[in-house]
Amino acid sequence: MPRVLPLNRHQWFDPWRGARGTALRNLVREFAVAIDIHELTNGLRARRRKAVDQEHHAAAIEIVVANIAHAVLMPPETGWLAVLTGNGTSGFTRYDNPALGKPFRSLLNRLGDLGHMTLRLPRKRGEASSLAPTGSFSALVRDAGISLADFGRRDGEEVILLARTSVEWRHGLRFRYRDKAEYEETAETIAMRRDVRALNGFLAGANITFEDDGGKPVDVHERRMRRHFVIAGSDPLPQRFDRGGRLYGGFWQNLKRSRRAGIRIDGERVATLDYSSMFPRLALAAAGAQPPQGDLYAIPGLTDHRRAVKLATNTLLFDTSLRRPTWPKPDDAADEMPEGWTVARFRQALLARHPGLSASLGVGLGHRLMHTESRIMVGVLLALMDEDIVALPLHDGLLVKMSVAREAGMMMAAIAEMITSSTIPVTISG
C-alpha cells in the first residue's frame, strides 16, 4: 500500500473528533439540514439512505464540522488539514472510522458547495488532499459561541496501536517508516485496551485547566491516551506487544517544559516526577547488574555534556548492530557530542562506567526497555487512579498536583521495583 503524506506537512484531519457541547451540536444539526436541502434541491441524491448509511452520514457530518470548527479555534500551523479522501470501504482496519467511507469525498464537496470549506486536491502523487474553513464558516463558529469545551471524541477509537517498522535506502539516505499493522484480538490486547480506556475515562472527568501564559492556545480537553507498540519489519511474528507501548495523546506531552507550569489540577500547580536515568537503569536491571552510585549519565570527560551522553546511550541501546567509528549525519547524538568523541571512544567510556551494559549495546534492546518503562507507567497510573489521584504521564515521568507529589513518588518507586526487582530513584521538581 503506498504511503500518503500530508500536503506540505499539514496537520492531519482527526477522524475521531466529535461534538460534545450544545453549541457545537446545534451547529452540526444546522449543517445536516443544510446538506439535505442542498442535495434535494440539486438532485444529488436519488433515494433515501439505508439506516446504516444514514447513521454513517450523520457521524461524518459531525466529524467534519468538528474538525473545521476546531481549526477555527486552534488554527493549524499551515492553515490547512491534511485528509485522506480515497473512495471505497474495502481495506478498512481497526484504526479507521467506518463513517468515513465511500461517500466521504462527496460530503466534503457538499460543504465546499455551501461555501463553508475549501478542499484542495493533491498537487502530486503520494500526497493527501487538504481542507480549511472559510471566513463565513469561521464567523458562524464564533457567533455560535463555540469553545474548546464543546469538542469530544467519537466512540470506537482504537487505543492499542501496533506499527510495523521498515527501513528504505534512497540516494544513499536512510528512511525509517512506521505503518499501522492489523492484529488479532487476544486476552492481552483486551486487557490493555480495558486499562487504557479506564484511564481515559478517569482523565476525562478530571479538573484540569491551563493558566493563560500568552502563548498559543492550549486545548486541555485533548486527554485521550493511546498505547503505541512496534514490531520490526523483519520480525517473522505477525504480531507482538513486547516492544514500545508508551502512552501518547495528552495535550501536556507536546507542551514545552516551561509551559507546563501553567497546568492546574484541581486548581493546584503541578509537580514533575521523573525516574532517574531510566533507560540505563532498566538495561542494567535486565542484565542483572547493579548500577553505580550517582548520576548514571556522568561519564568522565563528558560531565558538561549530559544531554549528549543521554542521547548517545539511548542511540546505542536502540541500535541493532554495532555502529561504525563515527556518528552518522544527521544524528542528534552527533550534533550534541563534543569534537573527537567517536562512537568507539564513547562506547569504551560508557562501558568503563557501566560494564554491566557490555551485552546490551547494538542488539536492539531499546524498544524492549521502552516496553518495560510503559508497563511501569501504566501500573503507576492505575494505582494512582485507584487512590483518586490524577496523573498526567510523560513517558518516564508524570505530572501531579503539588499536594500529592510525595505520595505519587512513593508509588512510582514501589511499582518500578515490583516490575524490575531493582530500585529506580524518583526525582520531584515543581
Confidence at residue 32, expressed as pLDDT on a 0 to 100 scale: 96
* Burial call 162-187: b when 16+ CB within 10 Å, e when fewer: bebbeeeeeeeeeeeebeebebeeee
- What is the identity of the amino acid at 119? L
- Residues 301-321 have pLDDT tens digits of 998 999 999 999 999 999 888
Instruction: Give pLDDT, residue 88.
Output: 47
**213-254-15 Cα angle (round to 5):** 115
pLDDT average, residue stretch 279-298 = 93
Q: Does 395 have pLDDT greater than 50?
A: yes
129 phi, psi to nearest 5 deg:
-70, 170
Percentage, residues of the chain above pLDDT 90: 76
Q: What is the pLDDT of residue 332?
A: 67
- What's the gap between Cα 26 and its chain centre? 30
DSSP label at residue 141: H
pLDDT at position 89, please?
46
> Do 33 and 83 touch, CB atoms closer than 8 A?
no
Handedness of CA 393, 397, 403, 406 (dihedral sign): positive
Query: What mean pLDDT value characterizes the chain?
Result: 91
Count the alpha carbons within 13 Å of 371 in the hemisphere toward its beta carbon.
17
pLDDT at 100 over 80: yes
325 pLDDT exceeds 80? no
